[in-house]
C-alpha cells in the first residue's frame, strides 16, 4: 500500500496524551515501589520520593484529562473519541458529559479521583502514608493500563483502550471509501461533524452525576487501603479511625450519586420512576450497602474492639464489589443475556485480572510467613506470564480451544483465593472475648449491618445471574423488578427498626429500666404519628402499613435523640441526621410507588376506570390498570382520572433542538361545582435524532406533595403518510374561491403580501381551506431570486383537512394579481398524541430525605475528623 | 448459646431463604412452543423469550383504533414464529431493533407480552459514517 501523508491532523495532542498515559503508568509504578519499600523498611527518604513521584502521577492524570477535553472542545474529529461522542453543536457543559459517555473517559475520571484522594491521603495519613499510598498506587497502575491501548497480536487481543486512537485507524472504512491517494490525504475535509452525544445524556444531571458516583467508587479504595495496611503493618486498631472517616465519606457521596442518577432517570427516561433495579443501578447499590454496613462495623470495633474480622472483611468486600461491578457493567457479560447495551471494549479479561490482583493483595497481607508469601506471588505472576505468552504465541483458533481450560482455572483460582483470605483473616483477627449482652448497642448495630448484608446478598444473587449463566452454562432469565421489591421490602423493615431504636442502647450494656421507658415513649409517639400518616397517605395493604410505621419509628426515634447527649456538639448528631434523612427517603419511596395514580389508565373494555366512592369521586389510587395510554386529539378535552387534559398544539425546538417537537398539554383540575381549581401546561417532547432514532422525554409538574409526570409515546406524525393525489392546476386571483379535484375541499385566496429577503422577492400567500367539518389557513410561499431570476415555490399542507397547496409559477397578471396554483388532496387526518400521565404522591420526600442524609454524612465526617485531629495532638 | 451466635444463625437462615426464594421464582429463557406448554403447566406465570422481529409479516399499531394495542410477529432463537400482542403503544424504533426480549405468556394463538425490551444496533454502537 502506498503511504499517504494525511493533512490537517493535529497529531501532537494525541502524541502528548500518549506520553502522559505512559508517564502516569510509570509514575504510579515507581511511586508505589518507593512507598512499598518505605512501608517495609520504615525509611523517610523513600516515603518522600514516593510522595513526589505521586504528585507527578497526579499531574499526568490531570494532563490526560485536559488533553482529552481539548480534542472534544476543539472538535478534533481525527480522534475517534471526539468523533464518536461529540458534535459541533454541543454546548460546553454537555461536552463534559461526552467525556464520560465513553468507557475510556470514565476510567480516566476514576483515575482522576484516585489521584485527588491520594494527595489528600498523603497529606493526612501521617504514619499510615506509606502502606496506604502503596495500595492506592497499585490501583492507579491498574487503571493506567486500561488506557494504554497496547495491541498484543493481530487477532485483536489488547491491553487497555486508548482514548487518543485516531478515527482513520479505528474506522478504516472511511479511507477505503476514498479512491485517490490525494483524496485520502484530505479525508478530514469530509469529517465535518461528530456523531453527537446521546440526547438522553444531554441533561444537567448527567454533567454532575457520573463524577459524583465515581468519586464514591474511588473513595472505597481508601478504607480498603487502610484495612490492608492495618493487616500488613500488624496494627489492629489504629487503622480503624482513619478508615471510618473515609468510609463515611464514601457512603455519603456514593449514596448522593446513586440518587442523582435516579433523579436523572426520573427526569429524562420514560419508565416512570427513579429506580428500576437495572443491573447498572444495582452495580452501584451493592458497594453502597456493604460500605454502609462496614462503616457501622468500624464504629463497633472502634468503640468496643469487637468484630475486627467483620470490619476488615466488609471494608475489603466493598472495594472488591466495586471491581466486580466494573467488570459486570463494562465487560459486556450482561449483554449476553440481557438486552441492556454496553459498549464492549473487549477488556473483560483485564478487568477480571484486576479483581484477582486485589484479592491477591488481600491474601498476601494475611499470610504470616514470608516464604509462603513468596510462593503465592510467584505462582500468580507465573500464571499471568503464561496468559500473556499464550496471547502472543497461539493463533486465534488454538486460543479458542484454550478458553474452556482458562474458564475452569479462573473459577478454581477465584474460589481458592476467597477461601484462603477468609480462613487466614479469621485466624489473624478473631480473638475470644467476653459475651455480648442482649442490651448492648454493638449487638443490635451488628444485627442491622447483617440485614444490610442480606439485602446485598439478594441483589448480588439476582444481578449476577448472567455471570452464573456464563460460569455454569445456565439459562436462567434475569429477574424483573418485582423479584427485588418482594424481598427487599421485608429486609428493609428490621433495618428501619434497628436504625430507629439503636441509639437508645449503650455500648456493652444498657440499664433495662431506662431502655424500656424510652422505647415505650418512642413506640407510642410513632404509633400515633404512624396512624395519622397511614390515613393521610391512604396506605391500605398490611405490609405497607407496617413499613410506614417502621419508617416513622426510624424518623421519630432519631429526631427524639437530638440534644439528649450532654457535652456533645451539634456536629455529633451526624448519625441521627443521616438516619432521619434515610427514613424520610424510605417513606417517600413507599408512598410515591404504592400510591402512584396513572391518570391516563383505563381498564380493558372500559374507557374510564369507574370506581367511585360514596361522594361520586373517581378514586383510582392503587388500582392496577391494564391500559395505560390515552389518545388526545388536537383541541379536544379528555376526562382523565381526576384531571382533564387537552392537546393544544406542537412547538418546534430552537436552534440545535429544532429536531424536537414539544407538545402543549393543558391539564385542568375541577372542583365539585365544575369550576377550575388548578390548571397547568406541560411540554413533553419527542425527538427524531438522526443518530439515535426516536427519543421521548417526559415533562413534569412539581408540587410539594406530588408530581404530575407525563410523556408522549406516539403522535400522529409518526404514522405513515398516505400520498397526496388528485393534483389539479388552477389560475386564481385574490379573493377568488376554488375547489380541489374531488370537490370536497374549498379554498379561497385571502391575501398576498410581498417581502424582500436578501436578493429574494418573496410572496407570502394566505389561503383558507375548508372541508365539511374543519378549516385551516395555509401559507405557501413563492420566491424569486432577483439576480439569477431563479424561481422557487414552498408548499404548505394541512393534515387535518388533507390538502397540499403550491403557489406560484409565473405572475400571469401582475395588475389583477392572478396566480397559478397546484392543489392535491388525501383523506383528512386529525392531529393527536398518545399520552401517559402518572401522579407520584410525595415524591419530594425521596429527594428531601437524600439531602438530609448527605448532610448527616457530612456532619459525621467533620465530627470524626475533629476527633481524629484531637487524638493526634494531645 | 451466646447472643451473637443466635443472631448469626437467624440471619444465615434468612439469607438462605432469600436466595432460595429468589431462585425458586426465576424462570428460564424459553422458546414459543415451550411457552405454550408452560401456559398450561403453570398458568399465571410469565416467561422470557428472546427473539427477532419477523419483518416479513406486518406490524400493526393504529393509535386511533386502540392506543394500547400493538400486534406483531416474532421469531424465537429456534426459528418458531408467533403472533405477539402487547398492550402498550409501539416502542420507539421497534423496526430498527435487532433483538427483542419478550416477557409474558402464551394465550390462545398468540403470546401476550407484558414487557418488551429491545437491543437496537444504533443506540450505543457506531452509526454508519455519514
Q: Is 80 exceeded by the pLDDT of residue A676? A: yes
Cell output for A538: 391512604
Whether A343 sits inside 8 A of B124 (CB atoms) is: yes
Q: Are residues A272 and A330 in the same domain?
A: yes
Interface probe, candidates B1, B9, B17, B18, chain A, greatest A C-beta count within 10 A: B18
Interface probe, candidates B2, B76, B89, B115, chain A, greatest A C-beta count within 10 A: B89
Q: How confident is the model at residue A157 (pLDDT cuts 50, 70, 90)?
A: low
Q: Are residues A117 and A234 in the same domain?
A: no
Q: How confident is the model at residue A493 (pLDDT cuts 50, 70, 90)?
A: very high
Whether B127 sits inside 8 A of A84 (CB atoms) is: no
* pLDDT given at position B3: 84
Q: How confident is the model at residue B123 (pLDDT cuts 50, 70, 90)?
A: very low
Chain A neighbors of B48, CB-CB under 8 A: 477-478
Question: What is the rounded distance in angstroms from the CA atom of residue A662 to the CA atom of residue A648?
Answer: 11
Which is nearest to A131 in space by CA: A234, A221, A48, A39?
A: A39
Chain B neighbors of A478, CB-CB under 8 A: 48
Q: How confident is the model at residue A815 (pLDDT cuts 50, 70, 90)?
A: low
Chain A and chain B share a number of CB contacts under 8 A equal to: 138
Chain B neighbors of A435, CB-CB under 8 A: 2-4
The mean pLDDT of B85-99, rounded to a whole number, is 84
Cell output for A789: 431570476
Q: Are residues A255 and A343 in the same domain?
A: yes
Q: Is 90 exceeded by the pLDDT of residue A64? A: yes
Which is nearest to A868 in space by CA: A116, A287, A113, A248?
A: A248
The mean pLDDT of A557-562, rounded to a whole number, is 94
A438-476: per-residue pLDDT in tens? 899 999 999 999 999 999 999 999 999 888 888 888 888
- Taking only residues 18 to 77 of chain B, the set having a beta carbon closer than 8 angstroms to any beta carbon of chain A reads 18-19, 21-23, 25-29, 46-48, 61, 63-64, 67-68
Residue with the bigger pLDDT between A689 and B39: it is B39
Q: Are residues A616 and A477 in the same domain?
A: no
Q: In this structure, are residues A71 and A86 in contact, taking their beta carbons and an 8 Å threshold?
A: no
By the CB < 8 Å criterion, does B1 face chain A? no
* pLDDT given at position A98: 85
Chain B neighbors of A462, CB-CB under 8 A: 22
The mean pLDDT of A156-170, rounded to a whole number, is 82
Q: Are residues A240 and A184 in the same domain?
A: no
Q: Which domain holds residue A817?
A: 725-802+811-822
Mean of all residue pLDDT scores within chain A: 87
Domain count, chain A: 4
Q: Are residues A758 and A794 in the same domain?
A: yes
Q: How confident is the model at residue A394 (pLDDT cuts 50, 70, 90)?
A: low
Q: In this structure, are residues B34 and B27 in contact, taking their beta carbons and an 8 Å threshold?
A: no
Q: Are residues A299 and A190 in the same domain?
A: no
The mean pLDDT of A674-697, rounded to a whole number, is 85
Residue A871 lies in a domain: no
* pLDDT given at position A620: 45
Residue A246 lies in a domain: yes
The CATH number linked to B111 is: 2.40.50.140
By the CB < 8 Å criterion, does B96 face chain A? yes
Q: Which of A171, A197, A223 is the last residue of a domain?
A: A197
Q: Which residue of B has its CA nearest to A478?
A: B26
Q: Is 60 exceeded by the pLDDT of residue A830? A: yes
Whether B120 sits inside 8 A of A476 (CB atoms) is: no
Q: Which of A498, A514, A548 is the last residue of a domain?
A: A498
Which helix H or strand E contains A530, and what residues bound it? helix A512-536
A802-813: per-residue pLDDT in tens? 899 988 755 555
Q: What does DSSP assign to residue A720? A: P
Question: Among B2, B21, B29, whose Cβ lies nearest the Cβ of A487?
Answer: B21
By the CB < 8 Å criterion, does B9 face chain A? no
Which is nearest to A839 in space by CA: A619, A607, A484, A592?
A: A592
Whether A628 sits inside 8 A of B8 (CB atoms) is: no
* pLDDT given at position A160: 82
Q: Are residues A41 and A151 in the same domain?
A: yes
Q: Is 50 exceeded by the pLDDT of residue A612? A: no
Q: Are residues A778 and A704 in the same domain?
A: no
Question: Among B14, B124, B129, whose Cβ lies nearest the Cβ of A171?
Answer: B129
Domain count, chain B: 1
Residue B46 lies in a domain: yes
Q: Which of A498, A514, A532 is the last residue of a domain?
A: A498
Residue B92 lies in a domain: yes
Residue A746 lies in a domain: yes
Q: Are residues A635 and A763 in the same domain?
A: no
DSSP letter string, A216-254: HHHTTHHHHHHHHHHHHTT-SSHHHHHHHHHHHHHHHHH
Whether A477 sits inside 8 A of B26 (CB atoms) is: yes
Which is nearest to A827 in space by CA: A755, A721, A699, A751?
A: A721
Whether A694 sits inside 8 A of B127 (CB atoms) is: no
Residue with the bigger pLDDT between A67 and A809: it is A67
Q: Are residues A77 and A105 in the same domain?
A: yes
Say how many residues make up chain A: 874
Residue A733 lies in a domain: yes
Whether A454 sits inside 8 A of B14 (CB atoms) is: yes
Q: Which domain holds residue B115?
A: 28-124
Residue B47 lies in a domain: yes
A258-297: per-residue pLDDT in tens? 999 999 889 888 777 889 888 888 999 999 999 999 999 9
Q: Are residues A659 and A772 in the same domain?
A: no
Whether B26 sits inside 8 A of A479 (CB atoms) is: yes
Amino acid at each position: 500500500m502506498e503511504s499517504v501523508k494525511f493533512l490537517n491532523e493535529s497529531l501532537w495532542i494525541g502524541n502528548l496524551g500518549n506520553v502522559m498515559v505512559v508517564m502516569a503508568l510509570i509514575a504510579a509504578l515507581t511511586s508505589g515501589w518507593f512507598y512499598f519499600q518505605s512501608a517495609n523498611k520504615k525509611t523517610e527518604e523513600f516515603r518522600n520520593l514516593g510522595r513526589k513521584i505521586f504528585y507527578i502521577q497526579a499531574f499526568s492524570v490531570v494532563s490526560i484529562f485536559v488533553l482529552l477535553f481539548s480534542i472534544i472542545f476543539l472538535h478534533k474529529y481525527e480522534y475517534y473519541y471526539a468523533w464518536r461522542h461529540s458534535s459541533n453543536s454541543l454546548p460546553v457543559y454537555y461536552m463534559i458529559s461526552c467525556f464520560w459517555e465513553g468507557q475510556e473517559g470514565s476510567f480516566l475520571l476514576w483515575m482522576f479521583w484516585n489521584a485527588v484522594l491520594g494527595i489528600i491521603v498523603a497529606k493526612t495519613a501521617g504514619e499510615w502514608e506509606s502502606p496506604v499510598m502503596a495500595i492506592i498506587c497499585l490501583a492507579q497502575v491498574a487503571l493506567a493500563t486500561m488506557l494504554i491501548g497496547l495491541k498484543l497480536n493481530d487477532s485483536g487481543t489488547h491491553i487497555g483502550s486508548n482514548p487518543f486512537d485516531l478515527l482513520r485507524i479505528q474506522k478504516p472504512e472511511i479511507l477505503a471509501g476514498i479512491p485517490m491517494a490525494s483524496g485520502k490525504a484530505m479525508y478530514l475535509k469530509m469529517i465535518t461533524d461528530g456523531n453527537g452525544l446521546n440526547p438522553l445524556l444531554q441533561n444537567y444531571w448527567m454533567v454532575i452525576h457520573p463524577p459524583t458516583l465515581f468519586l464514591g467508587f474511588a473513595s472505597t479504595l481508601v478504607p480498603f487501603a487502610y484495612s490492608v495496611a492495618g493487616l500488613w503493618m500488624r496494627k489492629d486498631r489504629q487503622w480503624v479511625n482513619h478508615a471510618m472517616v473515609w468510609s463515611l465519606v464514601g457512603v455519603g457521596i456514593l449514596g448522593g450519586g446513586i440518587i442523582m442518577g435516579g433523579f436523572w432517570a426520573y427526569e429524562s427516561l420514560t419508565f416512570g420512576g427513579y429506580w428500576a433495579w437495572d443491573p447498572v443501578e444495582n452495580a452501584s447499590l451493592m458497594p453502597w450497602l456493604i460500605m454502609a454496613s462496614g462503616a457501622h462495623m468500624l464504629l463497633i470495633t472502634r468503640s468496643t474492639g469487637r468484630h475486627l474480622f467483620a470490619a476488615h472483611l466488609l471494608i475489603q468486600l466493598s472495594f472488591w464489589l466495586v471491581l466486580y461491578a466494573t467488570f459486570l457493567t463494562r465487560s459486556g457479560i450482561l449483554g449476553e443475556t440481557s438486552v441492556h447495551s454496553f459498549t464492549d471494549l473487549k477488556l473483560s479479561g483485564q478487568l477480571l485480572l484486576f479483581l484477582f490482583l486485589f484479592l491477591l493483595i488481600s491474601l498476601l497481607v494475611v499470610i504470616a510467613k514470608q516464604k509462603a508469601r513468596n510462593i503465592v506471588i510467584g505462582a500468580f505472576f507465573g500464571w499471568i506470564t503464561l496468559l500473556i505468552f499464550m496471547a502472543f504465541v497461539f493463533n486465534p483458533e488454538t486460543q479458542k480451544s484454550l478458553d474452556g481450560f482458562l474458564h475452569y482455572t479462573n473459577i478454581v483460582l477465584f474460589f481458592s483465593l476467597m477461601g484462603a483470605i477468609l480462613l487466614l483473616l479469621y485466624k489473624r483477627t478473631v480473638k475470644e472475648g467476653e459475651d455480648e449482652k442482649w442490651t448492648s448497642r454493638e449487638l443490635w448495630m451488628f444485627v442491622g449491618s447483617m440485614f444490610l448484608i442480606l439485602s446485598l446478598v439478594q441483589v448480588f444473587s439476582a444481578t449476577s445471574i448472567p455471570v452464573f449463566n456464563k460460569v455454569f452454562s445456565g439459562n436462567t432469565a434475569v429477574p424483573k423488578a418485582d423479584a427485588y421489591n418482594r424481598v427487599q421490602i421485608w429486609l428493609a423493615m428490621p433495618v428501619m427498626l434497628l436504625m430507629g431504636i439503636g441509639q437508645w442502647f449503650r455500648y456493652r450494656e444498657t440499664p433495662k429500666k431506662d431502655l424500656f421507658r424510652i422505647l415505650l415513649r418512642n413506640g407510642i409517639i410513632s404509633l400515633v404519628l404512624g396512624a395519622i400518616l397511614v390515613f393521610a397517605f391512604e396506605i391500605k395493604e398490611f405490609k405497607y402499613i407496617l413499613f410506614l410505621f417502621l419508617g416513622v419509628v426510624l424518623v421519630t426515634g432519631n429526631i427524639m435523640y437530638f440534644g439528649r447527649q450532654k457535652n456533645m456538639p451539634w456536629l455529633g448528631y451526624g448519625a441521627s441526621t443521616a438516619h432521619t434523612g434515610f427514613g424520610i427517603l424510605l417513606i417517600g419511596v413507599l408512598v410515591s410507588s404504592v400510591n402512584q395514580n396513572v391518570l391516563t389508565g383505563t381498564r380493558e373494555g372500559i374507557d374510564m376506570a369507574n370506581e367511585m366512592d360514596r361522594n361520586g369521586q373517581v378514586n383510582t389510587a392503587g388500582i392496577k390498570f391494564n391500559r395505560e395510554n390515552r389518545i388526545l386529539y388536537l383541541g379536544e378535552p379528555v376526562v382523565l382520572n381526576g384531571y382533564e387534559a387537552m392537546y393544544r398544539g406542537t412547538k418546534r425546538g430552537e436552534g440545535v433542538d429544532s429536531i424536537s417537537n414539544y407538545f402543549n398539554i393543558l391539564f385542568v383540575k375541577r372542583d365539585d361545582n365544575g369550576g377550575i381549581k388548578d390548571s397547568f401546561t406541560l411540554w413533553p417532547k419527542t425527538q427524531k435524532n438522526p443518530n439515535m432514532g426516536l427519543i421521548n422525554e417526559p415533562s413534569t409538574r412539581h408540587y410539594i406533595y406530588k408530581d404530575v409526570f407525563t410523556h408522549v409515546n406516539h403522535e400522529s406524525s409518526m404514522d405513515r403518510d398516505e400520498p397526496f393525489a388528485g393534483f389539479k392546476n388552477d389560475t386564481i386571483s385574490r379573493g377568488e374561491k376554488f375547489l380541489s379535484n374531488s370537490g370536497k375541499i374549498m379554498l379561497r385566496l385571502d391575501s398576498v403580501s410581498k417581502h424582500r429577503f436578501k436578493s429574494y422577492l418573496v410572496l407570502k400567500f394566505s389561503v383558507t381551506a375548508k372541508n365539511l367539518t374543519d378549516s385551516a389557513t395555509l401559507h405557501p410561499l413563492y420566491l424569486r431570486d432577483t439576480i439569477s431570476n431563479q424561481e422557487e415555490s414552498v408548499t404548505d399542507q394541512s393534515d387535518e383537512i388533507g390538502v397540499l397547496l403550491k403557489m406560484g409559477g409565473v405572475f400571469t397578471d401582475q395588475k389583477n394579481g392572478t396566480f397559478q396554483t397546484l392543489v392535491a388532496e388525501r383523506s383528512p387526518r386529525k392531529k393527536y398524541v398518545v399520552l401517559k400521565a402518572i401522579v407520584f404522591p410525595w415524591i419530594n420526600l425521596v429527594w428531601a430525605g437524600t439531602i438530609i442524609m448527605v448532610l448527616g454524612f457530612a456532619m459525621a465526617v467533620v465530627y470524626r475528623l475533629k476527633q481524629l485531629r484531637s487524638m493526634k495532638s494531645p | 448459646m451466646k447472643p451473637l451466635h443466635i443472631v448469626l444463625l437467624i440471619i444465615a437462615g434468612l439469607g438462605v431463604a432469600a436466595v432460595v426464594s429468589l431462585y425458586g421464582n426465576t424462570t428460564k429463557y424459553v422458546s414459543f412452543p415451550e411457552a405454550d406448554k408452560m401456559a398450561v403447566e403453570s398458568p399465571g406465570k410469565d416467561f422470557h423469550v428472546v427473539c427477532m422481529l419477523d419483518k416479513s409479516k406486518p406490524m400493526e399499531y393504529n393509535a386511533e383504533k386502540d392506543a394500547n394495542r400493538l400486534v406483531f410477529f416474532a421469531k424465537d432463537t429456534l426459528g418458531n414464529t408467533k403472533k405477539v400482542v402487547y398492550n402498550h403503544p409501539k416502542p420507539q424504533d421497534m423496526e430498527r431493533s435487532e433483538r427483542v426480549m419478550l416477557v409474558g405468556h402464551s394465550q390462545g394463538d398468540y403470546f401476550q407480552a407484558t414487557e418488551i425490551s429491545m437491543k437496537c444496533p444504533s443506540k450505543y454502537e457506531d452509526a454508519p459514517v455519514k
